[in-house]
Amino acid sequence: MTAVVLLTTAQAIPAEAATAARLFRVYATREGLVGGTTANGHVIRDRDHFAALPSRRGLSGRDSGDLTVRVCATNGRCEWAPVWDVGPWNTNDDYWNDDREMWPDLPVGKPQAQAAFEDDYNGGADQFGRQVSSPAAIDLADGTFWDGLRLTGSSWVTVQFLWTGDGPTGVARALTVVRNGPRGGAAEVGMVAEHARVPVACWVEGESVTGAEGTSSVWYRLSTGKYVGAAHVAGVPEVGAC
């Protein structure tokens, strides 16, 4: 197995140079539907890891994480998950965009289902005329819901739409645990789904780990208090030390 090579930092991109991606607080539900097929052709597995948003403008291709969200629960856990399905409720509600497909009179970041549920917007109905029974604006696959975030029921979460920002990123080569420090014994604080494209703020030296990218003692900081071993992440450009 080839060892991971740490790039020099002479031309590294400083963490503060990245533009922050848009982040909104929305209501999350569990998708389930094991054995079904998502909008991008993925067959849903038991304890799967992905997210669904109510517009194809947020849909990644099959086995791609170019459109990835970071979902964080109130318990402090986060998961970086690719968007592989469309829903819930609507299919043309890209509420994270300035130029929304539908409902342009709603503020950016306000999902139509939430407005219908809370404010009787559109007579309390979704785009198909169904009465909205919850403010759900993101669906989470079972593994993301139960294992990544450790949710026990539908919940308010913060969702960061990572493709709306910029800065260095890498792609997770496998489902990977996120820890609060650069060592295997550090507390588990979330997960990165396979294929997810994750922002990399900086790197630190830590415990040596082995993964799909070889063996390395380098760990990447994804956000404050959230680290993943470089051996599990491919394609990261030069970044500075933390």
Asked whether the beta carbons of 202 and 242 are under 8 A apart, the reply is: yes
What is the distance between the alpha carbons of residues 40 and 58, in angstroms, rounded to a whole number? Answer: 11
Q: Are 91 and 196 in the same domain?
A: no
What is the distance between the alpha carbons of residues 65 and 59, in angstroms, rounded to a whole number? Answer: 9
- Give the residue from 124, 144, 165 where a domain finishes: 165
What pLDDT is attached to residue 17? 40
What pLDDT is attached to residue 19? 72
* Residues 101-134 pLDDT 10s: 999 999 999 999 999 999 999 999 999 999 999 9
What is the distance between the alpha carbons of residues 179 and 181, in angstroms, rounded to a whole number? Answer: 5
35, 67, 89, 167 from 171: Cα distances, Å: 26, 11, 30, 13
Q: Is the dihedral of CA 141, 165, 191, 2 positive or negative?
A: positive
Q: Is 230 helix (H, G, I), strand (E, B) or coil?
A: helix
Q: Is 170 helix (H, G, I), strand (E, B) or coil?
A: strand
What pLDDT is attached to residue 6? 36
Residues sharing a CB contact under 8 Å with residue 150, sequence separation 6 or more, in sequence order: 73, 75, 77
Q: Are 154 and 174 in the same domain?
A: no
Q: Are 239 and 211 in the same domain?
A: yes
Q: Are 39 and 111 in the same domain?
A: yes
Q: Are 90 and 190 in the same domain?
A: no
Backbone angles phi, psi at 86, to 5 degrees: -115, 130
Q: Are 160 and 234 in the same domain?
A: no
What pLDDT is attached to residue 18? 52
Q: Are 147 and 27 in the same domain?
A: yes
> Given a cut of 50, is residue 13 above it in pLDDT?
no
> Given a cut of 50, is residue 12 above it in pLDDT?
no
Asked whether the beta carbons of 39 and 59 are under 8 A apart, the reply is: yes
**Percent residues over pLDDT 70 in the chain:** 93
- Give the residue from 117, 145, 165 where a domain finishes: 165
Q: Are 142 and 212 in the same domain?
A: no
* Residues 144-182 pLDDT 10s: 999 999 999 999 999 999 999 999 999 999 999 999 999
Q: Are 45 and 161 in the same domain?
A: yes
Got the DSSP string for 15-84? GGGSPPPEEEEEEEEE---TT-B-TTSPBPPTT---EEESBGGGPPPTT--SSEEEEE-TTS-EEEEEEE
What pLDDT is attached to residue 16? 39
- Give the residue from 123, 150, 165 where a domain finishes: 165
What CATH number is attached to the domain comprising 234?
A: 2.30.30
* Residues 54-113 pLDDT 10s: 999 999 999 999 999 999 999 999 999 999 999 999 999 999 999 999 999 999 999 999
Please state the rounded mean pLDDT for residues 11-20.
Answer: 47
- Give the number of domains in the chain: 2
Average confidence score pLDDT of the chain: 93
**Percent residues over pLDDT 90 in the chain:** 91
What pLDDT is attached to residue 8? 28
What CATH number is attached to the domain comprising 121?
A: 2.40.40.10
Q: Are 90 and 123 in the same domain?
A: yes
What are the b/e assignments for 39-67, b being 16+ CB within 10 Å?
bbebebeeebbbbbbbbebbbbeeebbbb
Query: Domain range holding 15?
Result: 1-19+168-242
Q: Are 153 and 216 in the same domain?
A: no
Q: Are 13 and 109 in the same domain?
A: no
> Given a cut of 70, is residue 4 above it in pLDDT?
no
